[in-house]
Structure 1
Amino acid sequence: MKIRFRCDPALLGHIPAPVPARAALPDWLRAMPATAASELHGGPVRTVKQCPPFVDAMAHGFVIPLPCDVRVAGGRLSWDWDLPAPSLPAHPRSPLSFHAPAQVEGSPFHRADRAIVKFNSFWTVELPPGWSLFATHPANREDLPFRLLTGLVDADRFTAVGILFPAQWKDPGFAGVLPRGTPVAQCFPVPREPLDLDVGALDPAGAEAYGATAHALLSTPGTYRRRHRARRGRSGALEAPAQGAEIEP
């Protein structure tokens, strides 16, 4: 599927482009061990690094990267970004803004000590007809100090401006730098056609296949990867350089 991204002409080459999620896998995933000791099992067990569904979820779709370094200190978010002036009216200049806490009152995201920040997007997204864009927190990225609010956008019709990504700032004590390129949203196209749910009992052939597959999964490590996992293509990432402002979350 071709996904079309466009930005303000004055900013092309000054902002990082969306990248395939596979190109933005975190360093901790690469560094973590493939096996670990388990007292419960009395020996080594495979870690999630060897779990294809865990890794494939993190590598699925594309990610929207943070366009510049954002410093976090004393409850303040700040940045120093030498961004050219956008040529389009009402175009954002800051990498993020915020929502009023009342906008999530009554939901699990409402906490007096946690801000709702909004990651501004500098890219429009256009999908083929009939497809929507599912945008969510980067999969399995509990290391990030925010939690993106999941949304679904009809990005075959809403294509003229960028999509904004709200998130709960979940770690008030975080201090440091969110580096340029940090994934702020993981996105993938989903079809808008209605679901047709067919629910029933396994027939004899299905029951036999269940038993054989369950036995293979329990007795032979790597069965899913070798027999059932679809082959995935690989793609690369893009890069580019980085105004001064600050807000209080």
Structure 2
Amino acid sequence: MKLTLYPLSKEMPQVRPADPRRQWMDDTPESFAYRCLPLALANQHGWEVTTPAGFTATWNGGNLPSDVSITFDTPQTKSLSGAPLANFGSGVLTFELHFLLRTPPGWNIFVTGPMNGIKHGIAPLSGVIETDWSPITFTMNWRFTAPDCPVRFEAGEAVAHFFPVRRDLFEKFEPALDHLNRDPKTYEQFMRWRDSRQDFAKRLVELEANAVEEKWQKTYYRGLRPDGSAGAKDHKIKLRVKPFKKPSR
């Protein structure tokens, strides 16, 4: 399948495969946050758009667009494609994404902030766009969460994260509740996992040498069931998201 990006400005959009690193995860002891595979994979799950210029933005608590002030590190960067602006009001900071995306029929684009990104004083807003037919651009918006709290974005920092999603995704699923013991194989594997986790946690608290050396259980990370058998054949510990290539002349 093809995902096509059409630039709408003379500058090439600063779009890249999503960065797997997060500063707060780097800062955890021994970077242990990366041991959580669901977190690590979510970080990589798509593409991200970066801001071309460093700036500081502040909201004074009002509802007018002018109630958000933006101070750029270099004044002339205000005119760069992808620079932020405040045109909606209500404490919203907007990044115009100067490109169109085209997905295959039946596929939307989910756009949000950097996965597992944390920013004090502001939060990303998420949207879903029908990019298989719409000839309209979309914006990435953030909303301030507190007045008079300056928010800093560095040049090259990710401000948007996007990936395709099927439009009929939820129509295809039939949510159902059931009793776990009605699925004997899953029940057995779950009980093995629960008992193993409790035992490992106990040994870790007691500073049992093997548990301390191992530090964390790696069965899910390795794609193994609690009994040691292989899980899904296509289990992933890393995503290989391809970059957008410039068209050949």
Task: Using structure 1 for the length normalisation, give the TM-score.
Answer: 0.68
1:198 is matched with 176
Report how far residue 74 of structure 1 moved: 8.9
1:135-150 maps to which residues of 2 (within 5 A)? 135-143=111-119, 145-150=121-126
Q: Which has the higher contact order (CA 8 A, sep 6+)?
A: 1
2:3 is matched with 3
1:106 is matched with none
2:38 is matched with 53
1:182 aligned onto 2:157: yes
- 2: CA distance between counterparts of 1:200 and 1:20? 39
SS of the residue corresponding to residue 99 of structure 1 reads: coil
SS of the residue corresponding to residue 240 of structure 2 reads: coil
- Structure showing greater radius of gyration is 2
Counterpart contact for 2:110–2:165, Cα < 8 Å: yes
Q: 1:84 to 1:162 in 2, by over 3 A?
A: same
SS of the residue corresponding to residue 98 of structure 1 reads: coil
Listed as ranges, the gaps of 5+ residues in structure 2 are 61-68, 201-215, 225-230, 245-249
Higher helix share: 2
The one-letter amino acid of 1:51's match is: C
SS of the residue corresponding to residue 87 of structure 2 reads: strand
Task: Using structure 2 for the length normalisation, give the TM-score.
Answer: 0.68
Counterpart contact for 2:58–2:147, Cα < 8 Å: no
1:170 is matched with 145
User: Aligned residue pairs: how many?
Assistant: 203
Counterpart contact for 2:82–2:95, Cα < 8 Å: no
1:234 aligned onto 2:240: yes
- 2: CA distance between counterparts of 1:124 and 1:150? 17
The one-letter amino acid of 2:38's match is: P
- 2: CA distance between counterparts of 1:146 and 1:140? 14
RMSD: 3.1
1:87-126 maps to which residues of 2 (within 5 A)? 94-101=83-90, 115-126=91-102
Listed as ranges, the gaps of 5+ residues in structure 1 are 36-46, 86-91, 102-114, 239-249
